[in-house]
Amino acid sequence: MKEQFANMKDAKHAKGIRAGFDLELTCGMLSRALFVNSCSTEVDMIVRFIPYSFIEKEASHVEGFSPELAVVTIGGGKELEEKLVVRPTSETIVNHMFTKWIQSYRDLPLMINQWANVTRWEMRTKPFIRTLEFLWQEGHTAHATLEEAEKEAMQMIDVYTKFSYEHAAIPVIPGRKSKRETFAGADRTYTIEAMMGDKKALQAGTSHNLGQNFSRAFETQFMDENGQLEHVWQTSWAISTRYRCSDY
């Protein structure tokens, strides 16, 4: 019952949070020269069921997420030939698509943004803060250089910080995660942390510099201006409606 109530509260706040953030993101994209003449798009939802083999391709990713995965083994009353993971995050399936979409340096940088539900099989749930399923915004980018990817990761933390103060009216502290708390599969993770009433910090949004970890695992490559094949550099970033509970 508590879980259902929490999800109802999430849905109540979701519309306002999404409208405010999408406006902030759109304005940011228009003002950032990085994405002029590049491909950027808002997608309704990338597929929710991800082949388990995709999760296994990036070693640290599968190790970090294995305890939280919800796995489908039976469909239509029959055992599946390959297990499917209910999306915990989309880096793997996005890379699968990027490999099809990216061929040349002219295709870069590439950004997609979506709002979607994700599932994390939590050992202990807590209303508003930790639920098995929650709505979030997630973005993914591909770049030709490490410098562009790092710039994007840092810019998105600035976007989240500005959104938190100016739209959600929630004060946050931006910073960088320790190596232990870095996102599974990322080189660096940047975060905004909100202080709750019980004096604990709540992770309110994150931005990851993924380096070439996923692009090497999925062979996401592009031909550069010199005709050489190179792996793309990537970022991903997300903020969920549950961060709204930080002001309770």
Q: Please state the φ and ψ torsions of residue 87, each to the nearest 5 degrees.
A: -45, 115
pLDDT tens track for 222-234:
999 999 999 999 9
Which range has the worst mean pLDDT, 12-21, 22-31, 189-198? 22-31
Nearest to 162, CA basis, from 35, 14, 33, 21: 21
Tokens found for residue 174: 């931006």
Most confident of 103-107, 113-117, 119-123: 103-107
Pairing of β 188-195 and β 70-75: unpaired
pLDDT tens readout for residues 176-202: 999 999 999 999 999 999 988 888 888
* Separation between Cα atoms, residue 57 and residue 61, nearest integer Å: 8
Amino acid identity of residue 129, one-letter, is: I
- Express as a percent the part of the chain with pLDDT over 90: 55
Q: Which of 185, 193, 192 is nearest to 235 (CA)?
A: 185
Stretch (H or E) spanning 213 = helix 213-218
pLDDT at residue 39, as a whole number: 52
Q: Which residue has the higher pLDDT, 217 or 7?
A: 217
Q: Tell me how crowded residue 22 is: count the other CB atoms within 10 A of its CB.
A: 14
List the chain domain ranges: 2-247
Does the structural domain 2-247 have CATH classification 3.40.640.10?
no
Residue-wise pLDDT tens digits, 40-98: 555 556 888 999 999 999 878 778 888 889 999 999 999 999 999 999 999 999 999 99
For residue 36, pLDDT beyond 90: no
Cα 44 from Cα 42, distance rounded (Å): 7
Tokens of 144: 């030709």
**Cα–Cα dist 230/223, whole Å:** 6
For residues 100-109, average pLDDT: 95
For residues 191-228, one letter each, b for 16 or more C-beta atoms within 10 angstroms of the residue's C-beta and e for the rest, the string is: bbbbbeeeeeebbbbbbbbbbbbbbebbebbbeeeeee
pLDDT above 60 for 30: no
pTM: 0.83
